[in-house]
Amino acid sequence: MSQFTHFDDAGASRMVDVGAKPVTRRQARASGLVRMAPATLRAICDRETAKGDVREVARLAGIMAAKRTGDLIPLCHPLALDSVRLELTPQGNDGLLIEATAEITAKTGVEMEALTAVSVAALTVYDMCKSMDRGMTIERIQLESKSGGASGDFARSGEPSQKSE
């Protein structure tokens, strides 16, 4: 079981010791897509939902969630993030693409923070619009890219993989 970094040789859970790792600049970008009825997307874009500006509330929820990732994900290090940015962009007539970028200068990466930001922003969109459209789906939450750290850089081919052609 020792090949898994979150378990010791006896199989007990543990937080990875990052004490000896060098401090480097790290960035991660994640994305996800909320599919909905065209009328729901129009209401979001026109800021005509009963609960207010869906994109701005979801953006704030995503930023707040990224800052709390260490409280939500077991064994995830709590991090003092340098920056978190979210973009919510209409895709076609039935999708809202959510992209989050998290940055830090630290001993550990920010992939989980970017993924958490996207996830909570998507859930916020659903929560704010469920009275209009219970058929919404949250799709393809994924890491798009990361840089920094010992494992090197990663970029999903065809970035960003979910944008319309």
pLDDT tens digits, residue range 57-110?
999 999 999 999 999 998 899 999 999 999 999 999 999 999 999 999 999 999
Catalytic residue status for 94: no
In 3D, which of 126, 164, 163, 162 has the Cα closest to residue 141?
A: 162
Residue type, 12: A
Copy the structure tokens of residue 125: 């969109």
- Of the residues 46, 127, 133, 153, which is catalytic? 127
Query: Which region holds residue 38: left if phi is over 0, alpha if psi is between -120 and 50, else beta?
Result: alpha
pLDDT tens digits, residue range 112-160?
999 999 999 999 999 999 999 999 999 999 999 999 988 889 999 864 4
Give this prediction's pTM: 0.89
CA distance 3 to 7: 8
